[in-house]
Amino acid sequence: MTNSGFDTPEAAEAAFYQAFTTVDADLMVAVWADGDDALCIHPGSDLRRGKTAVMTSWTEIFSGSLAPAVEYRYVGGYASENLVVRIVEERIWPRDKQRSEATRVLATNVYVRDEGSWRMTEHHASLPLMERGVDSSDQRRLH
Amino acid sequence: MTNSGFDTPEAAEAAFYQAFTTVDADLMVAVWADGDDALCIHPGSDLRRGKTAVMTSWTEIFSGSLAPAVEYRYVGGYASENLVVRIVEERIWPRDKQRSEATRVLATNVYVRDEGSWRMTEHHASLPLMERGVDSSDQRRLH
């Protein structure tokens, strides 16, 4: 990690989840791209637009809870020279609970490269309420 | 629209919502990129991976309902030469109901360019259950 970003999208993503699990607001600030283009959709929540609003949401999350346990797993994505999309499966649970009680979250994480370094610019997370496993193709749907 | 994609991400997106509102499975097939990289997360649902699974989900949706009314509005995004991310706000309602009864959905739509033409490769949609408007910065959150 540097103050100006990360060498790879994977490094930015690792820092994002490290910031989440250690409730480290300074690291979260370093992870996110500056300016009005940053967008964050927490599970079940509305869009936060711009780095200030995004960081306000994370500060609220960090202030209201103990550091959670978070695992993440890359499940797919798309890459270009300066823009990368990574879809990950998250499992989040309180540290005083068992992993089997984890909430599963699907997230689309978008990273941009600026002056050679990568930062997160979008995090769109949602709860698969009707879950059947990431590779299932026969589940029901809401849409 | 052509069988091999669209001239711009915006044209692919317009075709995606046209396919949705006209329950046109053939057009939806034309919108989506081929292969295993296609990913679709319907609101509250799990990940569908690969064009076959994605199209199965749309066929289920189309077979189970009348053509809905759908409006969409671009709210932000990121572009590179061959990869584009567009975040849109959707409003979806049954045609025999009023627009005021619309369900609001937030979607991250990802498009890839292949051989000069654009197709959708990811659609991640979620319901802002605790909605306060797209540009609100003081809402509560689940995360």
B34-87 tens-digit pLDDT: 999 999 999 999 999 999 999 999 999 999 778 999 999 999 999 999 999 999
Specify the higher pLDDT residue, B27 or A140. B27
Q: Do B42 and A80 touch (CB under 8 A)?
A: no
Q: How confident is the model at residue B3 (pLDDT cuts 50, 70, 90)?
A: low
Mutation target vs B (from A28, A46, A135; most B CBs, 10 A cutoff): A46
Task: Please determine, for residue B2, whether its predicted confidence score (pLDDT) is greater than 70.
Answer: no
Q: Which two tokens stand for residue B37?
A: 């990289």
Cβ partners under 8 Å of residue A36, min gap 6: A49, A50, A51
Cβ-contact A95, A66 below 8 angstroms:
yes
Establish if A127 touches chain B: CB-CB under 8 angstroms: yes
Which pTM value belongs to this model?
0.90
pLDDT band at A131; cut points 50, 70, 90: low
Nearest chain A residue to B42 by CA distance is A143
The SS3 of residue B107 is strand
Query: Which H/E stretch holds residue A83?
Result: strand A83-93
CB-based contact A46 B128, cutoff 8 Å: yes
End-to-end CA separation in angstroms for chain A: 39
Q: Which tokens is B121 given?
A: 């490769």
Pick the CATH number of A9-126 from 3.90.650.10, 3.10.450.50, 3.40.50.150, 3.40.50.880: 3.10.450.50
